[in-house]
């Protein structure tokens, strides 16, 4: 029995900062951001979009009523969750009308959380072939104004429907993983902004990739030449390329070119959105399959997940026969075209407002008329979520 990704949906907030403008404002050469880092725009979440509403918006796009009845596992991977106890996935379950006969939980391990959820879901479906699982990665990445990490901020969510006989990507059962307690990125409980040792995180990302890719090759006998494309967790689009280059000499020149061309297609969405932490690997996968018209069913795609702290995992899957029928690339082009560009002053004002503590009794209105759900504020210490104009 094949198990894997049957549907995939994505949501990103409807406002962004142009990174050339940000570079000029910060007195930095714009080429550093667009070439050295590989980012053009960064999504900015308004107060009315948090990890829960973004997760619901990503999932709302793909779930049918039959899916909602069949789902018996909902997992939210996030590292910017809104409650220290309650799983954000419970709000998503209620908002979307997913069956109550479901296990519902949240997973945290930096940007790796959604991959842990996907592997959990795969094993769950192996034991319950008629069930479906919803796995979502949803995050707002914040490093702070005028920090070296600022250019790698972003916001968004990716939702995966995991099922038997998947129509997009069948996952192999084997995967290779490695973990080690390190301090490359972390966020103490009393902070809204992460602590990061950026250079160390780059090194760890690459080292973990080399280890798990080698382990995977030993486990499976696959060579680099068996992979049509490799997709990476993308904190910024140059990062995955740095890792890919470490193994490129394992294959011939023509295949090296091909892997790098596919890689560029996998970065198109991240270039316009930025880092969405847990969802970033799956955003790269969505970008690849939506934009790369040279892919064919049956091709093997490798996926590298990395969460600081740190855990790395490499796994792979094969594209399914009619995977193109399951996609809606126009939807994302419209989503990008309908975004509003913030001036640097507007972005900075919003960023500071987000960091103001104590929003008790604050009511919010939605600023994204195309978003099915939004965060409406806090009443009696309880978070309020509402359906927007385009609720489904």
Q: Give the residue numbers annotated as catalytic, written as ranges.
A: 79, 111, 233
- By CB under 6 A, name the one of 20, 26, 36, 318 that touches ligand COA: 36
Rule CB under 6 A: say whether 365 interacts with ligand COA: no
Find tokens 């960064």 and name the residue. 42
Shortest CB 177 distance to ligand COA, Å: 16
Beta strands in the chain (DSSP E): 3-11, 15-18, 41-43, 71-77, 103-107, 132-141, 154-164, 169-171, 176-179, 185-186, 195-196, 229-232, 300-307, 311-319, 340-341, 373-379, 382-387
User: Counting contacts by CB under 6 A, is residue 144 touching ligand COA?
Assistant: no
Q: Does 201 bind ligand COA (CB under 6 A)?
A: yes
Instruction: Report, in Å, the least distance between residue 51 CB and ligand COA.
Output: 18
- 167-183: b (≥16 Cβ within 10 Å) or e: bbbbbbeebbbbeeebe
Are 362 and 46 in contact by the 8 Å Cβ rule? The answer is no
Q: 14 among the known binding-site residues?
A: no
Closest distance to ligand COA from the beta carbon of 35 (Å): 4
Count the residues of the shown chain that bind ligand COA, applying the rule CB under 6 A.
23
Residue 190, classified by CB atoms within 10 Å of its CB into exposed (0-12), middle (13-18) or buried (19+), is exposed
The candidate with the shortest Cα–Cα distance to 11, out of 57, 60, 46, 44, is 57
Binds ligand COA (CB under 6 A): choice among 103, 199, 331, 341: 199
Q: Known binder of ligand: residue 202?
A: no
Listed ranges 5-13, 24-32, 83-91, 380-388: which one lies at the site for ligand COA (CB under 6 A):
24-32
Q: Is 48 in the site for ligand COA (CB under 6 A)?
A: no
Q: Which is nearer to ligand COA, 151 or 228 (CB)?
A: 151
Q: What is the DSSP string of 143-159?
A: --TTSTTGGG-EEEEEE
25 three-class SS: helix
- Determine which residue in the list 198, 220, 245, 260 makes contact with ligand COA, applying CB under 6 A: 198
- Was 143 annotated as part of a binding site? yes
Could you give the 3-state DSSP secondary structure of residue 182?
Answer: coil
If one counts every other C-beta atom within 10 angstroms of the C-beta of residue 240, the result is: 28
Q: Which residues are annotated as a binding site?
A: 29, 143, 242, 275
Chain residues in the site for ligand COA (CB under 6 A): 29, 31-32, 35-37, 143, 148-149, 151-152, 196, 198-199, 201-202, 205, 235-236, 238-239, 306, 308
Q: Which residues are annotated as a binding site for (3S)-3-hydroxy-3-methylglutaryl-CoA?
A: 29, 143, 242, 275
């Amino acid at each position: 029995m094949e198990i894997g990704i049957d549907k995939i949906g994505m949501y990103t907030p409807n406002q962004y900062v142009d990174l050339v403008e940000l570079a000029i404002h910060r007195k930095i050469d714009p080429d550093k951001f667009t070439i050295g880092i590989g980012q053009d725009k960064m999504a900015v979440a308004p107060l009315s979009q948090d990890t829960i509403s973004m997760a619901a918006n990503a999932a709302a796009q793909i779930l049918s009523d039959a899916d909602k009845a069949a789902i018996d596992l909902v997992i939210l991977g996030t590292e910017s969750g809104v409650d220290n106890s309650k799983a954000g996935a419970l709000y998503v379950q209620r908002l979307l009308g997913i069956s109550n006969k479901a296990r519902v939980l949240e997973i945290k391990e930096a940007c790796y959380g959604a991959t842990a959820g996907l592997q959990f879901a795969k094993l769950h479906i192996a034991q319950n072939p008629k069930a479906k699982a919803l796995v979502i990665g949803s995050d707002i990445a914040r490093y702070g104004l005028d920090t070296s990490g600022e250019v790698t901020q972003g916001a968004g969510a990716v939702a995966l429907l995991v099922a038997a006989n998947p129509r997009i990507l069948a996952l192999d059962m084997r995967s290779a993983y490695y973990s080690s307690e390190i301090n490359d990125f972390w966020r103490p409980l009393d902070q809204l902004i992460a602590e990061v040792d950026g250079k160390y995180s780059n090194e760890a990302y690459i080292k973990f990739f080399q280890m798990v890719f080698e382990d995977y090759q030993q486990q499976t006998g696959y060579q680099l030449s068996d992979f049509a494309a490799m997709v990476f967790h993308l904190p910024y689009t140059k990062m995955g390329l740095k890792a890919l280059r470490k193994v490129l000499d394992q294959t011939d020149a023509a295949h090296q070119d091909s892997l790098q061309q596919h890689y560029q297609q996998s970065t198109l969405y991240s270039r316009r959105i930025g880092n969405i932490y847990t969802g970033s690997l799956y955003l790269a996968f969505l970008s690849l399959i939506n934009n790369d018209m040279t892919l064919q069913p049956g091709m093997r795609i490798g996926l590298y997940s990395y969460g600081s702290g740190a855990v790395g995992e490499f796994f792979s899957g094969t594209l399914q026969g009619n995977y193109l029928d399951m996609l809606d690339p126009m939807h994302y082009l419209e989503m990008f075209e309908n975004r509003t560009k913030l001036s640097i002053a507007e972005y900075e004002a919003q960023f500071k407002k987000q960091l103001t503590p104590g929003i008790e009794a604050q009511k919010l209105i939605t600023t994204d008329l195309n978003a099915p759900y939004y965060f409406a504020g806090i009443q009696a210490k309880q978070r309020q979520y509402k359906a927007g104009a385009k609720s489904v």
